[in-house]
Amino acid sequence: MINRSSRYAVAQPSRPPSRVWLFARANAAAAAGGHSGNSVATATAAKAATGVLAVPTPGTTLYVYRDHRNWVRTLDWSPDGTCIASASMDGTVQVWEAATGSERFTYTGHRGQVLTLAWSPNGAYVATGGNDRTMQIWNAADGERLLSRRDHARYILALAWSPVGAKLASGSEDGLVEIWSLKDGDIIFTYGGHSHKVLALAWSPEGRSIASVSWDGTLQVWEASNGHQLFAPRQHDTPLGALAWSPDGQYVACGGFGGQVYLWNASTGEAVASYAAHPGWVNTLAWSPDGRFLASGGDDGQVHLWELAARSITFTYTGHSDQVNALAWSPDGSCIASAGDDQTVQVWFTP
């Protein structure tokens, strides 16, 4: 059970940091001697003749975070935009300042690789899961562990908080999705619609439905309260491992082996669009906060931004030297944090 004391109420700024503020902070940190550990500032401040800091161009790298010692599998941005948490095959979760890459602390509660994480909507908690089969929830401010459960029979591969943060969904290699109550830490429902491991989960923005994708090649959308299946649009030809629900609730996007991204109407289950994104796997998908772009990361080490209105890829980031495993947009949409098998997290500016 999570203690709903004063720590639950985390002060939030009135609005997320802007791209100019982030750029200025990163360059100030670089001028002061760089970042903690092996983090390296790669952004440069372009100033006009008046000395005013210029707005960075799309794809400009704010910095590269290099403190992990193995593949970085997952990450998330804090809701207030000030911090990023990243998890790795090295068994650590590292929490650091989004503007500078300066590490705040490292969480080492798992006995093995950390494969998934999710920051709670109110910013107070981080949930993590891994190959030790435990789902852990800990204080985002200092890493104090508040809950640890081991109910799945296999690795935990996906975690997703409900929009108001009262529930947490976990997906596993055992093919099950469990819905947890944060009031008492108990499982309130188990969904067993998949025949193979569940690789990604997403809640609908209003919190009534959940989408899940699996190695069995299916996208399934179902009611969070009772598991009633709303639609499973079709059997895909290959396993699916990436999933994202659009902020306005209209679309569910999924992708996986074969490099295709599929877009579905979230109300009817009808196909809206599909496009070839990457050779090999599409490992991760993330909508921009305004729903304008869908970002994808793949085995080719690239991140593509697909623009919904144009129905085409309009920007590509090529900073990684190996496959991209995870993406997260800053809350204001000005930056993306991308992580991959090159053991880095790269924070860069979007169009």
CATH of the domain at 218: 2.130.10.10
Beta strand residue intervals within 249-319, DSSP E: 251-256, 260-265, 271-276, 282-287, 293-298, 303-307, 312-317
pLDDT score at 236 = 73
Q: What is the pLDDT of residues 162-191, one digit of tens each?
A: 999 999 999 999 999 999 998 888 899 999
pLDDT at position 242 is 98
Beta pairing partners, 147: 137
> Residue 27: inside a domain, yes or no?
no
Cα dihedral sign for 269, 270, 274, 279? positive
Q: Which residue has the higher pLDDT, 33 or 61?
A: 61
Does 58 map to a domain? no
pLDDT digits (tens, 9 = 90+) for 203-262: 999 999 999 999 999 999 999 999 999 999 876 778 999 999 999 999 999 999 999 999
- Domain assignment present for residue 203? The answer is yes
What average pLDDT does the segment 15-39 reach? 50
Q: Assess whether pLDDT exceeds 50 at residue 79.
A: yes
Report yes or no on 172 lying in a domain.
yes
Q: 32 Cβ partners below 8 Å, 6+ apart? A: none
Please indicate, yes or no, if residue 42 is contained in any of the structural domains.
no
Rounded-to-integer distance, Cα 201 and Cα 271, Å: 19
Residue with tokens 């709303």: 230
- What is the domain extent for residue 316? 6-15+63-349
Q: Are 141 and 7 in contact (CB under 8 A)?
A: yes
Residue 296 within any structural domain of the chain: yes
Do 135 and 101 touch, CB atoms closer than 8 A? no
Ranges 4-13, 234-243, 282-291, most confident: 282-291
DSSP H helices in the chain? 19-31
% of the chain at pLDDT higher than 70: 84
**What's the total number of domains in the chain?**
1
- According to DSSP, the residues that pair with 119 across neighbouring strands are 126
Contact 319, 61 (CB under 8 A): yes
CA dist list (Å): 98 to 18, 109, 135, 285: 12, 23, 25, 20
Task: Please determine, for residue 73, whether its predicted confidence score (pLDDT) is greater than 50.
Answer: yes
Q: What is the mean pLDDT of the chain?
A: 88
Residue 20, in any domain of the structure: no
In the prediction, which pLDDT does 153 show?
A: 94
C-alpha distances out from residue 121 to 44, 164, 175, 191, Å: 32, 6, 26, 23
pTM reported for the whole predicted model:
0.88
Q: Is residue 142 part of a domain?
A: yes
